[in-house]
């Protein structure tokens, strides 16, 4: 698939080697793309950085979660692009041509699972896997008109993958249709540990207010109406004790602290040629002292408990996935950063709590996709996928 046939820049342009697949099973006939942070036997793992790629050796084993999909019949079609060291949600890597967003070609794909989203949206793969630390499944899914689930933290193994910030990193995948999405979920997730039915949709005014403008608000309100038609009227909840700005800062500091601990030694070993903004994000982590680390960890734990209490056993938070459609490719670095900061105020809720969040392609702004999300209690991943099916049916998208 990579090379001249990949007009979407979704895949790495590297020599192809055979990858084992049973070619029979639940996923037989489905093409699988794999984000280049996962080990695939015979391939190097570059993590979106040419120096990392040059320093790595071909993997001798495939990451267990990827292997399970291959053993269920999925056919590997290539490693997909990622933002550099998976530390962005925009889908722009200074070292490679940007993947093309087939749903909105004048806009970015989102990242860091950029190539995976581009491959599915462009019909070069039926399934593509990625990771989500601070939004790297949810942002590309929203921007490219796909289904994307940030899974409950720790529920699916990330063994055999590059870690960015271990207490935030989660496994995720993209698909266009809910049948394929649920088939992958059944394989990787198993039965939900959360048993209660999710039947109490909630909204928070301050969260909803993060959409960018009046047009986005109207589209979001229409999406909420679709959700209410499918699962019942929403209840308005009070805001969290911490402000969304404080929660965003909490995420940034804790994520950066963990990322520096993982990658700092490599980054300091010699001058590294990193794209704009990447080193700055890592270096923030080197400046987080013990007092700040403790305070932000306490804030995170308090928020998690507060969100768990709000959701209870049957609640699900309805929210915009991102502030609006994907930014235009012509946006400046400053505009991209401003959008990223705004988006992370939405995405930090699932990242800080570790709770699952699914984004559904039921909105459109100026002809570009705009996802709407459901965030549920820990362990309710399959329930969210099945709720997603009901909502997409209500929207006429199944």
390 and 249 part of one domain: yes
Q: Which residues of the chain have pLDDT under 50?
A: 1-4
pLDDT for the residue 3: 44
Say how far residue 142 (Cα) sits from the centre of its chain: 9
What's the pLDDT score for residue 5? 64
- Res 2: pLDDT: 47
One domain for residues 181 and 211:
no
DSSP symbols for 295-309: HHHHHHHHHHHHHHH
Instruction: Mark whether 95 and 173 lie in a shared domain.
Output: yes
Query: Is 326 contained in some domain?
Result: yes
By CB atoms closer than 10 A (0-12, 13-18, 19+), residue 391 is buried
Active-site residue among 65, 102, 112, 380? 112
**Could you confirm whether 35 is annotated as catalytic?**
yes
184 and 163 assigned to the same domain: yes
Residue 184's domain comprises 31-189
Q: What whole-number distance in Å separates Cα of residue 147 and Cα of residue 268?
A: 38
Question: How far apart (Å, rounded) are the C-alpha atoms in residues 147 and 379?
Answer: 18
- Both 129 and 49 in one domain: the answer is yes
Q: Both 149 and 174 in a single domain? A: yes
Q: Is 238 a catalytic residue?
A: no
Q: Which helix (H) or strand (E) holds 97?
A: none
DSSP letters, 299-362, are: HHHHHHHHHHHHHTTTEEEEEESSSSSPPBTT--HHHHHHHHHHHHHHHHHHHHH---EEEEEE
Both 179 and 292 in one domain: the answer is no
DSSP single-letter state for residue 199: -
CATH of residue 299: 3.90.1300.10
Q: Is there a catalytic annotation at residue 313? A: no
2 within domain boundaries:
no
Number of domains in the chain: 2
- The answer to the question of residue 344 being in a domain is yes
Is residue 5 in some structural domain? Answer: no
Beta strands in the chain (DSSP E): 31-35, 75-80, 127-132, 147-150, 170-175, 200-204, 235-237, 315-320, 357-365, 368-375
């Amino acid at each position: 698939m990579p090379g001249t046939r990949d007009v979407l820049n979704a895949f790495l342009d590297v020599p192809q080697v055979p990858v084992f697949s049973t070619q029979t099973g639940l996923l037989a006939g489905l093409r699988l793309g794999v984000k280049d942070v996962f080990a695939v036997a015979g391939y190097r793992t570059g993590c979106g950085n040419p120096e990392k790629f040059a320093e790595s050796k071909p993997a001798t084993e495939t990451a267990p979660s990827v292997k399970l999909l291959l053993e269920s019949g999925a056919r590997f079609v290539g490693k997909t692009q990622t933002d550099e060291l998976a530390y962005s949600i925009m889908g722009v890597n200074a070292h490679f041509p940007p993947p093309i967003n087939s749903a909105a070609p004048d806009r970015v794909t989102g990242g860091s699972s950029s190539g995976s989203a581009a491959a599915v949206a462009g019909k070069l793969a039926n399934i593509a896997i990625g990771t989500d630390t601070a939004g790297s499944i949810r942002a590309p899914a929203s921007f490219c008109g796909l289904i994307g689930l940030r899974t409950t933290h720790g529920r699916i193994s990330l063994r055999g993958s590059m870690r960015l910030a271990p207490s935030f990193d989660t496994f995720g995948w993209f698909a266009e249709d809910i049948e394929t999405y649920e088939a992958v979920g059944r394989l990787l997730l198993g039965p939900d540990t959360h048993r209660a039915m999710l039947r109490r949709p909630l909204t928070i005014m301050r969260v909803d207010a993060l959409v960018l403008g009046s047009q986005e608000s109207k589209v979001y309100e229409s999406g909420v109406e679709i959700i209410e038609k499918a699962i019942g009227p929403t209840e308005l909840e009070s805001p969290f004790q911490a402000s969304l700005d404080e929660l965003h800062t909490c995420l940034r500091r804790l994520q950066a602290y963990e990322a520096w601990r993982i990658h700092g030694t490599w980054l300091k070993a010699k001058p590294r040629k990193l794209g704009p903004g990447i080193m700055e994000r890592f270096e923030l982590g080197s400046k987080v002292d013990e007092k700040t680390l403790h305070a932000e960890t306490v804030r995170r734990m308090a928020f998690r408990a507060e969100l768990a209490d709000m959701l209870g056993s049957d609640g699900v938070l309805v929210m915009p996935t991102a502030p609006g459609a994907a930014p235009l490719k012509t946006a400046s670095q400053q505009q991209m950063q401003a959008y990223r900061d705004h988006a992370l105020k939405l995405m930090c809720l699932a990242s800080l709590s570790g709770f699952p969040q699914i984004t559904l392609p039921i909105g459109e702004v100026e002809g570009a996709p705009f996802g709407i999300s459901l965030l549920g209690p820990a362990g309710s991943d399959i329930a969210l996928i099945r709720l997603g099916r009901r909502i997409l049916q209500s929207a006429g998208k199944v």
